[in-house]
Amino acid sequence: MTNKVERHPTTLLISAAGGNATAIAAIDSPLSRTEYAARGSRLLSSLQGDGAEQAGFFLPSSAHLEMAGAEFCGNATRAAFVAREILGGDRRERITVSGYEGSVLGAAQPSSCDQCGSTCQCGRHFIAWCAFERMQIRTQDCVWSRGRGTLVDLGGIVHFVTWDLWPTESSEVRAYHEAFRDEMDLQNRDAVGLVRLREIRTALGAPADGLLGIFPIVWVRAIDSFFFETSCGSGSIAAAVVAGSGPVVQPSNGVIDVRVEGPFVRLESEMEVLMCTSNG
Ligand SMILES: [Zn+2]
pLDDT reading at 185 higher than 50:
yes
Q: In the structure, what pLDDT confidence band is assigned to residue 13 with cuts at 50, 70 and 90?
A: very high
Mean of the per-residue pLDDT values for the chain? 90
Q: What is the DSSP letter of 8?
A: P
Distance 79 CA to ligand 1 centre (A): 17
Q: Is 122 found in the same domain as 142?
A: no
Nearest CA among 164, 215, 217 for reference residue 192:
217
Q: Is 161 found in the same domain as 65?
A: no
Helix (H) or strand (E) holding 182: helix 170-184
Query: CA–CA separation, 62 vs 92, rounded Å?
Result: 9
Report strand pairing: 207-220 vs 225-228: antiparallel
The pLDDT, as a whole number, for residue 167 is 84
pLDDT reading at 89 higher than 70:
no
Distance 4 CA to ligand 1 centre (A): 32
Distance 111 CA to ligand 1 centre (A): 8
Q: What CATH number should be reported for the domain holding residue 30?
A: 3.10.310
Burial 162-171 (b: 16+ CB within 10 A, else e): beeebeeeee
Distance 88 CA to ligand 1 centre (A): 18
pLDDT tens readout for residues 62-79: 999 999 999 989 999 999
Distance 270 CA to ligand 1 centre (A): 13
Q: Is 272 found in the same domain as 252?
A: no
Tell me the residue type at 173.
Answer: V
The pLDDT, as a whole number, for residue 1 is 39
Can you tell me the mean pLDDT for 210-237?
90
Q: Is 252 found in the same domain as 151?
A: yes
Report strand pairing: 125-132 vs 264-278: antiparallel
Distance 80 CA to ligand 1 centre (A): 19
Distance 177 CA to ligand 1 centre (A): 39
Distance 120 CA to ligand 1 centre (A): 4
Question: Phi first, then psi: what are they for 28, rounded to 5°?
Answer: -85, -30
The dihedral region occupied by 210, where left means phi > 0, alpha psi between -120 and 50, and beta the remainder, is: left
SS3 content of the chain, % helix, strand, coil (to 5): 20, 45, 35
Q: What is the DSSP letter of 178?
A: H
Which residues does residue 97 pair with via DSSP β-bridges, in sequence order?
65
Query: CA–CA separation, 190 vs 11, rounded Å?
Result: 24
Give a yes or no: residue 64 inside a domain.
Answer: yes
Question: What total of structural domains would you count in the chain?
Answer: 2
Distance 117 CA to ligand 1 centre (A): 7
Distance 236 CA to ligand 1 centre (A): 27
Size (the chain), residues: 280
Give a yes or no: residue 3 inside a domain.
Answer: no
Tell me the residue type at 194.
Answer: L
pLDDT tens readout for residues 121-148: 888 999 999 999 999 999 999 999 999 9
Distance 86 CA to ligand 1 centre (A): 14
Query: CA–CA separation, 44 vs 20, rounded Å?
Result: 12
Can you tell me the mean pLDDT for 179-204?
91
Query: CA–CA separation, 187 vs 72, rounded Å?
Result: 16
pLDDT-above-90 percentage for the chain: 73
Can you tell me the mean pLDDT for 9-19?
93
Which residues have beta carbons under 5 A from ligand 1 (an ion)? 113, 115-116, 120, 122
Give a yes or no: residue 53 inside a domain.
Answer: yes
Query: CA–CA separation, 256 vs 14, rounded Å?
Result: 15
Q: Is 204 found in the same domain as 110?
A: no
Which residues does residue 67 pair with via DSSP β-bridges, in sequence order?
56
Distance 279 CA to ligand 1 centre (A): 23
Query: CA–CA separation, 258 vs 266, rounded Å?
Result: 6
Alpha helices in the chain (DSSP H): 33-47, 74-87, 170-184, 233-243
> What is the pTM assigned to this prediction?
0.89
Give a yes or no: residue 1 inside a domain.
Answer: no
> Which residue range forms the structural domain that includes residue 32?
10-131+267-278
Can you tell me the mean pLDDT for 41-57?
94
pLDDT reading at 4 higher than 60:
no
Q: Is 215 found in the same domain as 119?
A: no
Distance 112 CA to ligand 1 centre (A): 7
Query: CA–CA separation, 173 vs 175, rounded Å?
Result: 5
Class of residue 263 by CB neighbours under 10 A (exposed 0-12, middle 13-18, buried 19+): exposed
Give a yes or no: residue 5 inside a domain.
Answer: no
Distance 59 CA to ligand 1 centre (A): 26
Q: In the structure, what pLDDT confidence band is assigned to residue 279 with cuts at 50, 70 and 90?
A: low
